Structure 1
Amino acid sequence: MVRQGSDSEGSESGHPLLAGLDPEQQLAVRAPRGPVCVLAGAGTGKTRTIVHRIGYLVQMGHVAPGQVLAVTFTNRAAGEMRTRLRALGVHGAQARTFHAAALRQLRYFWPRVVGDEQWDVLDGKLKLVGQAAHRLGAPTEAETLRDLASEIEWAKASLITPESYPEVAAKVHRDTPLPVEQVAAVYQGYEVLKNRARMLDFDDLLLHTAAALEEHPAVAEEFRDRYRCFVVDEFQDVTPLQHRVLDAWLGARDDLTVVGDANQTIYSFAGASPRPLLEFTRRFPEATVVRLERDYRSTPQVVSLANQVIGAARGRPAGSRLKLVGQRPDGPMPRFAEYDDEALEATAVARRIKELVEGGLPLSQIAVLYRVNAQSEAYEAALAEHDVPYLVRGGERFFARQEVRQAMAALRTASAAELAGDLPGAVRKILGPLGLTADPPQGGAARERWESLLALVELAEELAAEVEGAGLSRFVAELDARAEAQHPPTVEGVTLASLHAAKGLEWDAVFLVGLVEGTLPIQYADGDDAKIEEERRLLYVGATRAREHLWLSWALARSSSSGGRRRRRSRFLYGLIPDEHPAARVARSRGREGGRGGFGQTPPERCRVCDGPLIGTMAIKVGRCGRCPSDVDEELLERLRTWRAQRSKALKVPAFVIFTDATLLAIAEQRPVDTAALVSISGIGGSKLDRFGSEVLSLVQGRTSSVE
């Protein structure tokens, strides 16, 4: 029979560690030793509850600090738990990741379990996986090796041996990088090479720790005598291998507290499963179960949208039906926006971020979240254009990715011949052999590579639109300049992160971008209900990262030149935003109806010549539509170019970091006479105005501006 945490009165009710906790949190803290399951929704104070429970058990004399082992999934979370425990005066309790705890135990017991020199831990699998694949004549391209390494990690985390891999992979319809028999052979070869080198990978730390406790009674007895109380955070993310280690730690005991939220299960691809959380009371019928649903992180408006997202999920088991209740004061409604192309979407996001920062919001309290890392490049460029510092989290910087470096090398080689024809077409032809197929791959590293290569084609399209007659050599120079410039110093900045990398974090303002079919949900999830629901949970995780401001946006095409490649907004948005909402037709209606575009806050950009709507990145930058004639002052434009070249050389930065060609063209056309007119031009923000404004105005007025 499940105990729902009866709140019996007594002398304990006034304990200092219960002060400031809500009734449900107090129930979790005061629950007796034994199995306890805390179903904790996003933003409900689960970490506070965990550490107060540990502190309470220690201070009430139920367990000694050194007998507590708390495990979680990231070093950051474990460090935060240790810090909070120390603040409560609890010294000696262990708070570690699964792997760190296993490594510490394995090092201690190794002499008795193995008896010889301890094996080192591999930094990564790729080298040995590559050797195993090469020996078998399997493909050894970088993305294939990454996918093979991930597949081996999934198999080991799922307790699947090389011998059983083909059968299991076929049974669960696993998307494999190679035929299942070939993957199994590479897996087997990798294990042989690793063992021969007397090395352990991270999965081995868990496997060997479990085996040591299972097969050596004296080792198990010593361990279980040392640790008596176990706490597991993020229990919805445990893999079968981690659960096996936990069972080995526990033995026949039940002094276990687990905390989790099945609605935030987003790592199934790596072997994680919410089943142990959802079936906890079946295993421990006498468990105390506490539900934390009071959300202290987000405003009621954000909470309401998050509830709508997850409430539409299919087949939700009882243990996942948490409904958050916002506890903060009211805030702004979540906003939706639709754009013609991704460049316009990124520009609008950058502008809105700049408004928030100018309104006093710290850069570190703003995040742009996307489904795949390849999406970051558009936002890196847009933020750089608007002088907004940013940090990329959870993925390589765009120009540091291996496929991008390979592509740039191929483009540089081809530029010597300067292929004839249009620039985007030439770039597509060069990148074809590197993986830029007509249709995107289903998923994995190959899809990530494809997205990165396509982003380079889109850069070529942008350059061709801005610079008449631009060829490969000009494009390569532009790429080199971008690669050099997009390495900002490590300072406070807007966070750019994938939805997976954002798990466990929170910000005052969150932009969820690129919400289109094929991206969220990702294309390879289509047709698989379980994968679709995991994609829905990703959106839920993203929405619950926001404390106050939440924006959701999508673009109908990759670029303004993509023609008929129209896209649909994500299916997950239906029910959140009605079909008749202005955001659903902003790109079509802003010129015709004079309505407000973007995030429903800023009037649409209009041509300074004909007052028509500005559609497309270049049109917005120069302030006029393509059909209106240019009134550029050619002499001024030449002066600006000469000045920019001198400034670029003096500051040792690429020319476009000073001002892009489009910004110079806009200055030469609009001929601003004061700072107000100058700052209204796209690409001229506060910092550039302070640094270059007086020089540019002098050039406009016909005076020569000296370079310091």
Structure 2
Amino acid sequence: MTLSVDITEERILAGLDDEQREVASNLTGPMCVLAGAGTGKTRAITHRIALGVHTGVYVQQQLLAVTFTARAAGEMRTRLRELGAPNVQARTFHSAALRQLQYFWPQAIGGSIPQLVDHKAPHIAEAARRLRLTADRALIRDIASEIEWAKVSMLTADSYVKAAADRTRVGDLEPQTVARLFAMYEDVKKDRVLIDFEDVLLLTVAILEDDPRILAEIHRQYRHFTVDEYQDVSPLQERLLKLWVGDRNELCVVGDASQTIYSFTGATPRHLLEFPKTYPDAKVVRLIRDYRSTPQVVNLANKLLESRRIERNMPDPTVRWPEPLHLISQRETGKNVEFKEFADDEAEASSIAKRIKEMVDAGQDPRSVAILLRTNGQTEAYERALSSAGLSYQLRGGERFFQRNEIREAMMLLRAASKTRSGEPASGTVAELLMSIGYSAKSPESGGATRERWESLSALVTLSEELGSGSSEGPAASLGQFVAEMEARAATQHAPQVSGVTVASLHSAKGLEWDVVFLAGLSEGLLPISFAKDQAGYDEERRLLYVGITRARDFLHLSWSLARTPGGRAHRTPSRFLDGLRPQSLGTSRHYDAASSPRAERSASRAKTRGPVRCRSCGKVLDTPAERKLKRCLDCPATYDEAMLEALKAWRLETAREAEVPAYVVFTDATLMAIAEDRPKDMNALAGISGVGESKLERFGEQVLKIVNEYA
């Protein structure tokens, strides 16, 4: 029996890197996984769950894995099924809460559960009419977002006014007016016996807090919990999670504070960052090996976070900026990152569409290409440009795949056929059946509705061929198994990928990746967006760009335009976040390789041989950015000359006073300590120290070297 368990354990752990293996092999107690983009976090936690199941540490039905999108939950279930753990529940917070609410409602409240509303808009409009207020569609949408923020922040209409004092106004409405609309909206729902998605969480929390018997039943049902994208939890979701977990500590959380981009909905990375304080015995593992993107893309992403500064607005020291994970690409050198400036939006969209057309004609799969934009309002120009270039495309965030008429028709046809042809292979059979409702192997030349219908059916056929071909992880699917898979996907809105270039907002691109990514419209006023007014807002926008950059696997193109319309006034400027990243000369196509910037060129020989950074004192592999900067464990004795460090600090203080900036703007304490320990002899050596950027090297390099040489 022991030999069998050992073989199973090794099979599940095979292929994981050291850090992923550490996550997967620690099965009990609290765990916090700080996972950068593309570092294989889903792989690590699904293998952890599978190992726990196969070794008997976990009972499948007693583990709940929670994530934030139906697509991510569907992907997790698929991986767990392939790893032999098909009965583990992987759900979104809302899905898990709704299931519990439906089950416990009769005994906790009695009667039937109220109907769940899909959209708040008509009920907010009714609330506005009752209050004799005028509200257009845009304002109603903004009010809905504000009410959602208030509810996940656990605010009532009464407590909202004080909490909203520092928030951006909703239209031109006073907070008191929004509070009245909030209260009336709740009355409208009550009159019509309705609940919304936030109510699902609120009511589940209320039932669990009010009824110890139901809470005890939850505790008996679930013994272990895994939460993905933990940086995105709201206060309400965290409260529900605490109830689920109780006084136990079998909780594994995974996240990255640098990918917090939903603060406007109430999400906060505070719970992730404070997890080691909440659970002092928690195991903390950092995943920093990036398997997704080329070194060029990864280096640019790192540099964006490490150069967090606002040229026009000095950083507010009261706004917390957690030290980001410094990712290390595990891939071979790839294509240079491209930067390009255009005269206007139309020229930018047209050029990008032309470039994509050339790539597709050369063999690039259009499904592996994405155009990412800051707002949905920017998509129209790209839709026109792609259509003119003869390219199909899909808009993320549009009509749900399984609600399309052609998909409903196809599913009815496939269900009926599976009753008599269930055992036939999915590959080939699905395509044959769908030909009766308009599918053909060749795409139509026309666009519009005909093209969209074909693309939807084509997505089903493509998925049937993928599942029907079999793999090392499972046998080929039959028609009956394919229909069952589609039913499961429909229940969680886990749609197959539609053929065509993806056009999406940066927010909707979270959790996705493409071979080729075009980040367009990167100008001031769009990124950062014009309504970002303070340091917290600018930081959120920086993180949003970081998420966009890290979606690219092989090729990344960043662009902006100087004017909105052809012939318009060229008053725009590139995004402040591109300062220090893009070439300074403009006007023509630029090719910029973040891996061969002046600083990187100085340290090229070091980068080529860079492996794990070891402590200069004890030789231990260092795993935190602060330790890697100092090149020693924080617990090991310092090796710098105290007099040299004090001289550097005195020089920094004088320099900061002359510039009227905080001392840390010149150099942080950690950077000065690293300089004092490394004792650089020339500019190249100084440039190799983390925290010494090109601008600081030019401004302060000679002064710093003079002090170092005096004491060395």
TM-score by structure 2 length?
0.67
Partner SS state of residue 115, structure 1:
coil
CA distance in 1, matches of 2:562, 2:282: 50
What amino acid is the match of 2:563? A
Superposed displacement of residue 599, structure 1: 6.5
Alignment of 1:202 onto 2:197:
yes
Partner SS state of residue 15, structure 1:
helix
Match of 2:512 in 1: 505
1:522 alignment partner, one of 514, 523, 529: 529
1:352 alignment partner, one of 345, 352, 355: 355
Alignment of 1:251 onto 2:258:
no
Partner SS state of residue 164, structure 1:
helix
CA distance in 1, matches of 2:592, 2:205: 56
1:323 alignment partner, one of 299, 323, 326: 326
Match of 1:540 in 2: 546
Contact residue 309 and residue 572 of structure 1 kept, 8 A: yes
What are the equivalent positions in structure 2 for 1:258-657 lying under 5 Å apart? 258-313=253-308, 320-395=323-398, 489-490=454-455, 492-525=499-532, 527-562=533-568, 564-580=569-585, 584-586=586-588, 597=589
Match of 2:29 in 1: 34
CA distance in 1, matches of 2:159, 2:395: 39
In structure 1, the gaps of 5 or more residues are 1-9, 398-480, 587-596, 602-708
Contact residue 38 and residue 289 of structure 1 kept, 8 A: yes
Superposed displacement of residue 91, structure 1: 2.7
Contact residue 339 and residue 598 of structure 1 kept, 8 A: no
Task: Call closer, same or farther: CA 1:55–1:122 in 2, change over 3 Å.
Answer: same
Instruction: Tell me which moved more, 359-368 or 12-21.
Output: 12-21
CA distance in 2, matches of 1:171, 1:342: 34
CA distance in 2, matches of 1:319, 1:68: 31
CA distance in 2, matches of 1:575, 1:489: 45
CA distance in 2, matches of 1:189, 1:250: 35
What amino acid is the match of 2:54? Q
Superposed displacement of residue 489, structure 1: 4.8
CA distance in 1, matches of 2:70, 2:367: 20
Task: Call closer, same or farther: CA 1:64–1:174 in 2, change over 3 Å.
Answer: farther
Partner SS state of residue 555, structure 1:
strand
CA distance in 1, matches of 2:453, 2:591: 28
2:62 alignment partner, one of 54, 61, 67: 67
Match of 2:140 in 1: 145
Match of 2:99 in 1: 104
Partner SS state of residue 155, structure 1:
helix
Partner SS state of residue 523, structure 1:
coil
CA distance in 2, matches of 1:217, 1:47: 34
Q: Which string of whole-angstrom CA distances, capped at 9 and with x for unpartnered residues, describes residues 472-527 of structure 1? A: xxxxxxxxx999899685351100000001000000000000110000110111x3
Task: Call closer, same or farther: CA 1:488–1:512 in 2, change over 3 Å.
Answer: farther
Partner SS state of residue 277, structure 1:
helix
What amino acid is the match of 1:326? S
Contact residue 148 and residue 183 of structure 1 kept, 8 A: yes
Task: Call closer, same or farther: CA 1:487–1:55 in 2, change over 3 Å.
Answer: closer
Between the two proteins, the alignment pairs up a number of residues equal to 494
Partner SS state of residue 563, structure 2:
coil
Superposed displacement of residue 140, structure 1: 2.3
TM-align CA RMSD: 2.3
Contact residue 583 and residue 592 of structure 2 kept, 8 A: no
Match of 1:668 in 2: none
Partner SS state of residue 516, structure 1:
coil
CA distance in 2, matches of 1:573, 1:486: 38
Task: Call closer, same or farther: CA 1:393–1:535 in 2, change over 3 Å.
Answer: same
Superposed displacement of residue 15, structure 1: 2.0
Superposed displacement of residue 179, structure 1: 1.1
What amino acid is the match of 2:33? V
Partner SS state of residue 86, structure 1:
helix
Partner SS state of residue 325, structure 2:
coil
Contact residue 339 and residue 554 of structure 1 kept, 8 A: yes
What amino acid is the match of 2:259? Q
CA distance in 2, matches of 1:233, 1:308: 26
Match of 1:649 in 2: none
Superposed displacement of residue 64, structure 1: 0.5
What amino acid is the match of 1:498? S
CA distance in 2, matches of 1:165, 1:385: 48
Instruction: Tell me which moved more, 338-347 or 291-300.
Output: 338-347
Alignment of 1:80 onto 2:82:
no
What are the equivalent positions in structure 2 for 1:1-16 lying under 5 Å apart? 15-16=10-11
In structure 2, the gaps of 5 or more residues are 310-316, 401-445, 456-497, 594-712
Task: Call closer, same or farther: CA 1:188–1:579 in 2, change over 3 Å.
Answer: same
Contact residue 29 and residue 50 of structure 1 kept, 8 A: yes
Q: Which string of whole-angstrom CA distances, capped at 9 and with x for unpartnered residues, describes residues 340-373 of structure 1? A: 1111111110111011112211000000000011
Q: Which string of whole-angstrom CA distances, capped at 9 and with x for unpartnered residues, describes residues 313-356 of structure 1? A: 26796854201100111110100001111111111101110111
Percent of aligned pairs sharing the same letter: 51
CA distance in 2, matches of 1:333, 1:183: 49
What amino acid is the match of 2:242? D
What amino acid is the match of 1:507? W
TM-score by structure 1 length?
0.67
What are the equivalent positions in structure 2 for 1:122-201 lying under 5 Å apart? 122-172=117-167, 175=170, 178-201=173-196
